Amino acid sequence: MPILKNNTALLTILLVVVQIGLCVVVIMTRQYVPTHWNIHGVADEYGSPFYTLILPLISVLIYFFMTFFEKHPHYCNWPQKFKDRQKGYSLIAKLVAWLKLLIMMFLAFVTYEVYCGGSFNYLIALLILITSFIVIIVYAIKLRRV
């Protein structure tokens, strides 16, 4: 599993770097960017391109916060005691790593939609959300058995 762990960590960092790169391009090339989309996915509010810096800032903060919990899973709260603490904490660390990756995917997607400047594709956002719930359910089942 170290290969999988290294790949998810590398992909997570790559997604943050892509967000920062897209923000730099947006700041240098756009006068206005969408800051809100309506229920139909059409941009209905616009603002300064510097607003896009909020997305990578949030990503970096979440990245460091979740990396802390990935490295220190014993600080995470789980509703039952583990019979095998080592395995339980290992599974929690993997869960946090996958959720961190999915959050970075979502924020990179939002940054990309801002970069494109047009409509927002709620279907992709929904797929990321559903994937997150599936990951949580799968790991909850695994953790229940530990």
Domain boundaries, the chain: 2-145
CA dihedral 81, 82, 83, 89 (to 10 degrees): -160
Q: Confirm whether pTM is higher than 0.85.
A: yes
Nearest to 102 by CA among 8, 36, 18: 8
Cβ pair 67, 100 in contact under 8 A: yes
Provide the pLDDT for residue 2: 59
End-to-end Cα spacing for the chain: 18
Helix residue ranges, H only, the chain: 2-29, 54-71, 85-116, 122-145
Cβ pair 100, 70 in contact under 8 A: yes
Which residues of the chain fall short of a pLDDT of 50? none
